[in-house]
Amino acid sequence: MAIDPTLRDALSAVTPASLARALTRAGVKAFSPRGLAGRGERAIGEAYTLRMIPARGDAVGDLAAAVDAIPEGAIVVIDTAASGLALPFGAILAARLGQCGAAGLVTDAALPEVVGLPVWGAPEAAAGTLALVSVQEPVACGGAAIHPGDIVVCTESGIVALPVALAERVALEAVEQQRLDLWIQREAERGESLASLLPPDAAALARFEAETKPA
């Protein structure tokens, strides 16, 4: 299901930090993968999840078929049990991932040099190979819990996965939080006391509302 354009616009306008604060207030935990290096611009999409484990010679899943099934606009999230092994894409599968219209790739594996879309992955590859064991099930990636259909926001400064049922609420709260943060920064630059701004007291919040409400 495509992300609502208004929701996408809101998510594009806020930082991962603002989203993280809103998710924390909503009681959500383990929503942000850590320790992954990014290459490419901001990416937003619904999570399409794969789980891979170190191969030991057993029969494994069909990785080519799983990649072919990825819907356009998805953020592909691949859990490799924090193995740091290189993804077994090769040039052909890497090219296919870009051709299918995926918006981005997030994984705790190491990545090929060329993937053809924004990627976030482990900085170095360990020795060994990976095998596909499941598709479209909840996964763990970089210490985060990511479920199929979560809305994933990826930027150079961080990655956040939003449960779809909370996405609109969290996005709106994050927009308001960022508006407040920018106002606080402006007030601090004007010489206002930080004692009344961090956190903002009732008088500061009243000034914020008065000065920023739509005309």
CATH of the domain at 131: 3.50.30.40
Average pLDDT over residues 183-189: 92
1 pLDDT band, cuts 50/70/90, is: low
Reported as a single tens digit per residue, the pLDDT across 3-18 is: 999 999 999 999 999 9
Q: What is the pLDDT, as a whole number, of residue 98?
A: 85
**What local confidence, expressed as pLDDT, does residue 39 receive?**
86
Question: Considering 140, 162, 184, which residue would you say is the last residue of a domain?
Answer: 162
Mean pLDDT of 36-59: 92
Are 46 and 152 part of one and the same domain?
yes
State the total domains in the chain: 2
Confidence of residue 215 (pLDDT cuts 50, 70, 90): low
What's the mean pLDDT in 35-63? Answer: 91
Residue where one domain finishes, among candidates 128, 146, 162 = 162
Note whether 38 and 142 are same-domain residues.
yes
Residues 49 and 118 placed together within one structural domain of the fold = yes
- Which residue range forms the structural domain that includes residue 200? 170-212
In this structure, the number of other CB atoms found within 10 A of the CB of residue 22 comes to: 24
Based on the fold, state whether residues 103 and 127 are members of the same structural domain: yes
Do 99 and 151 sit in the same domain of this protein?
A: yes
Token pair belonging to 4: 């609502």
In this structure, are 105 and 197 located in the same domain? no
Verify that 115 and 74 share a domain, yes or no: yes
What's the distance, Cα to Cα, between the start and end of the chain in Å?
A: 36
Residues in the chain: 215
Residue 36: what pLDDT? 93
Q: Are residues 190 and 142 in the same domain?
A: no
Contact indicator for 21, 162 with CB cutoff of 8 Å: no
Residues 123 and 53 in one domain: yes
* Among 34-38, 134-138, 164-168, the least confident range: 34-38
Does a cis peptide bond (omega within 30 degrees of 0) precede residue 148? Answer: no
The answer to whether the CB of 48 falls within 8 A of the CB of 80 is no
Exposure string (b/e) for 174-184, b if CB count within 10 Å is 16 or more?
bbebbebeebb
Give φ, ψ of 74 to 5 degrees. -75, 150
Task: Report residue 84's pLDDT band, with 50, 70 and 90 as the boundaries.
Answer: confident
